[in-house]
Amino acid sequence: MSKRNTQQRRHAIAAMVSAEGEVSVDVLASHFSTSEVTIRKDLAALESSGLLLRRYGGAISMPSEIVSTDSAEKVSERKQAIALAASELIRDHNRIIVDCGSTTAALINLLGTKQGLVVMTNSLQVANALNALENEPTLLMTGGTWDPHSESFQGKVAESVLRSYDFDQLFIGADGIDIARGTTTFNELTGLSRVMAEVSREVVVMIESCKIGRKIPNLELAWQGVSTLITDDGMSDEDTTAIEQQGVRVIRACCER
């Protein structure tokens, strides 16, 4: 099925759930003449967009108190621009790692047109978004110990799993950028990030420009371990030059105003 038809079906499902309040998977599958597996992917994608809530066997409309307060935390224009620039670096059949985080998660919806991808992640959010893609890539999970702070799997088991593979690219975020040293984080569990970088031929850091210059005590990745930094056009020429002098390629994605 074409991407356009998929979008039309999902729009119709969202309207149907909104109108009726609750609809089951089997009713939707029958109505749209498609499989229950496809409907479940549709519902996962619509839930990720904040248009409905999945329930066992179907979906319900989004409660009004949720819609009025958080509306699924729409991805900012800056994150969308950064994600688009990152997606352009990914070729068909690449083996990639996508780390946890809202900026890296924004990349997932742009992977639907890529063929033959293998994606490793330590994030349930990323895994669920990948599973909702019509053209679903091969999904690998690190496993390990669940860390509620980062909402991801961490620890020795996850590190051991990663070392069993090799990857073309790592896409990773950061809490801050120290211009002189590299990426920084509030999370003291930096071991997994470093292993991710070790097993990847290209390390791509995705971060909004407002975080550049933040000096957080925990150094995550030194510049020697970073290939490319993708940020938005809010980054200054001075900071760009300083980071490029560290041997890092800098991409400033243009945001629509």
pLDDT per residue as tens digits for the range 33-80: 999 999 988 888 887 666 888 887 899 887 654 444 443 344 588 999
Percent residues over pLDDT 70 in the chain: 90
Domain with residues 3-69, CATH architecture: Orthogonal Bundle (1.10)
First to last CA, the chain: 34
- Which residue bears the tokens 């860390």? 147
d(CA 88, CA 230): 11
List every span in the chain annotated with CATH 3.40.50.1360: 77-253
- Residue 219 backbone class (left: φ over 0; alpha: ψ -120 to 50; beta: rest): beta
Could you report the per-residue pLDDT of 221-253, keeping only the tens digit for each? 999 999 999 999 999 999 999 999 999 999 999
Q: What residues contact residue 216 under an 8 Å CB cut-off, 6+ apart?
A: 175, 176, 178, 184, 185, 186
Contact in structure between 25 and 57 (CB atoms under 8 Å): yes
Banded model confidence at residue 257, pLDDT cuts 50, 70, 90: low
Task: Confirm if 120 and 167 have CB atoms less than 8 A apart.
Answer: yes
Cβ count near 122 (within 10 Å): 28
Average pLDDT over residues 128-141: 88
Mean pLDDT value of segment 196-223: 92
Q: Which residue has the tokens 């211009």?
A: 179
The structure's pTM equals 0.75
- What residues form DSSP beta bridges with 119? 96, 139
Which segments of 90-232 does DSSP mark as H helices, in order? 102-105, 124-131, 156-162, 191-198
pLDDT in tens, 44-54: 888 766 688 88
pLDDT at 235: 94
Mean pLDDT of 153-159: 93
* Least confident segment among 1-5, 13-17, 89-93, 241-245: 1-5
Outline which parts of the chain fall under CATH 1.10.10.10: 3-69
CATH topology of domain 77-253: Rossmann fold (3.40.50)
Listed in sequence order, the residues at least 6 apart from 66 whose beta carbon sits closer than 8 Å to its beta carbon are none
Q: Report the pLDDT averaged over residues 199-204.
A: 98
Residues 11-27 have a mean pLDDT of 91
How many whole angstroms separate alpha carbon 70 and alpha carbon 52? 13
